Amino acid sequence: MNKKEIFLIYARAANGAIGNEGRLPWHLPADLKRFKALTLGKPMIMGRKTFESLPGLLPGRRHIVLTRREHWDSTGAEVVRTAAEALSKAAEGNETGEIAVVGGAAIYDVFRPMADRIEVTEIHEDYPGDTFMKPLGDEWRETSREDHPATDGRPAYSFVTYARHVEDDAGEAA
């Protein structure tokens, strides 16, 4: 099995909020568009709560859903019980070379140590939330950034890509 690049993708408010009452705290069409562009055709790994928060199945993408529940209405989902099972399922028949981890916070925590790349929409406003993400640690380096100002009642935001920072034997950044 060839190594697949694992990336996390999420939108995060300035105060760290990513979710509120099972939904996104904001409506940002540009973020939804980017999410679609970056995930289309790729297997998506997600937690059961995120799967249930979707408006429906997202076309053109496999939904690999982690749950510990024995019985659960999983129509449209490929149900898995462990991170290892999720990754092995996501690699099956995957010609894209990528696996998208699409949340929520519980699932990002499990997969962050294995991720090669993180795609963040940084929203430059605070939002009320019940699900939060911490800022990224020093092991992540920004590799691209696209800033967008606030318009039409929508907050300012930035599309930012982070790659894992690898040090060589001399402790220097590669």
> Are the C-beta atoms of residues 99 and 87 closer than 8 Å to each other?
yes
Closest distance to ligand NAP from the beta carbon of 92 (Å)? 19
> Are the C-beta atoms of residues 40 and 94 closer than 8 Å to each other?
no
* Tokens 């925590």, residue located: 109
**Is the Cβ of residue 43 or residue 47 nearer to ligand NAP in the bound state?**
47
Closest distance to ligand NAP from the beta carbon of 68 (Å)? 3
- Applying CB under 6 A, the residues found at the interface with ligand NAP are 10-11, 18-19, 22-24, 46-50, 53, 66-69, 81-83, 102-107, 110, 131
> Are the C-beta atoms of residues 134 and 16 closer than 8 Å to each other?
yes
Closest distance to ligand NAP from the beta carbon of 116 (Å)? 18
**Is the Cβ of residue 89 or residue 174 nearer to ligand NAP in the bound state?**
89
Closest distance to ligand NAP from the beta carbon of 174 (Å)? 29
Tell me the sheet residues that pair with 20. Answer: 23
**Is the Cβ of residue 59 or residue 171 nearer to ligand NAP in the bound state?**
59
Interacting residues of 104 by C-beta distance below 8 A, sequence separation 6+: 18, 19, 46, 47, 49, 50, 53, 131
